[in-house]
Every structure is written in structure tokens, then in C-alpha cells.
């Protein structure tokens, strides 16, 4: 009769200890995440982002453009040459510095599959 009461009280004490430990651990991790976010914000030197302009903390304004991906391999040779000429002509007039950054991401083609299965 005494053993179940002792086991129940030990379980209750253990559960309360675990809950208190989890509560204090959340406070510490939240503070660490705030410090990490603050350090990352200082590292990237970003003050504000509006539209396609990025303002840095040192007073510079950067413009960026998102270019939709196209598969040039699907074009004919003539279309590839025309595209190459037009892009070269557009970029040759720009004498300022620019950086090219390509970020590959997986593409969701389910709308295309749905449309093709409907046909």
C-alpha cells in the first residue's frame, strides 16, 4: 500500500522538475536566439528593404531584380543567338558595377502537370 503512494509522489516530483527545467530552458534559448538575430542583423549591414531597393547602414542603396528562370535549351539555335545578342546589347550600356548571383531552388511543377493532364 505504501509503495504506490511513494511511486506516485516520485513521478509528480519528477514531472514538476521536468516542467520547470523546460520553462527555464526556453527563456535561455529565446535570449540566445535574440542575440544571434541581432548579431546577424549587424553582420549583413541592412537598414531597410522597400520594394526592390535595399538600404544599408552605411548609406548605400542597392537595387536588385528577380529574373524568372528560363530553359535556354528549349530554344532553337536562332532564338538562342537572338537572346544572347539582345542581353549583350542591354548590358553593354551599363558601365556601373554589378554582381550576378544565381540561387537555384526546386520548382513546383504541379500546376503544369495538372494542366497537361487536363489536355
**Do residues 53 and 63 lie in contact, with contact meaning Cβ atoms separated by under 8 Å?**
yes
Q: Per-residue pLDDT tens for 6-60?
A: 888 888 888 888 877 777 766 666 666 666 666 666 667 778 888 878 888 888 8
Which tens digit of pLDDT belongs to each residue from 61-90? 888 777 677 788 888 999 999 988 988 888
User: DSSP of 11-36, one letter per residue?
Assistant: HHHHHHHHHHHHHHHHHHHHHHHHHH
Q: Is the pLDDT of residue 102 over 80?
A: no
The three-class DSSP label of residue 114 is helix
Q: Sheet containing 53-56: which strands, arranged edge to edge? A: 46-50, 53-56, 61-63
Amino acid at each position: 500500500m505504501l509503495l504506490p503512494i511513494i511511486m506516485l509522489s516520485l513521478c509528480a516530483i519528477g514531472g514538476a522538475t521536468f516542467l520547470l527545467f523546460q520553462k527555464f530552458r526556453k527563456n535561455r534559448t529565446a535570449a540566445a536566439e535574440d542575440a544571434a538575430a541581432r548579431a546577424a542583423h549587424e553582420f549583413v549591414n541592412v537598414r531597410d528593404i522597400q520594394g526592390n531597393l535595399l538600404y544599408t547602414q552605411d548609406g548605400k542603396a542597392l537595387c536588385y531584380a528577380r529574373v524568372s528562370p528560363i530553359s535556354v535549351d528549349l530554344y532553337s539555335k536562332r532564338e538562342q543567338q537572338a537572346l544572347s545578342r539582345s542581353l549583350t546589347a542591354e548590358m553593354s550600356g551599363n558601365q556601373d558595377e554589378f554582381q550576378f548571383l544565381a540561387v537555384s531552388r526546386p520548382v513546383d511543377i504541379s500546376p503544369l502537370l495538372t494542366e497537361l493532364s487536363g489536355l
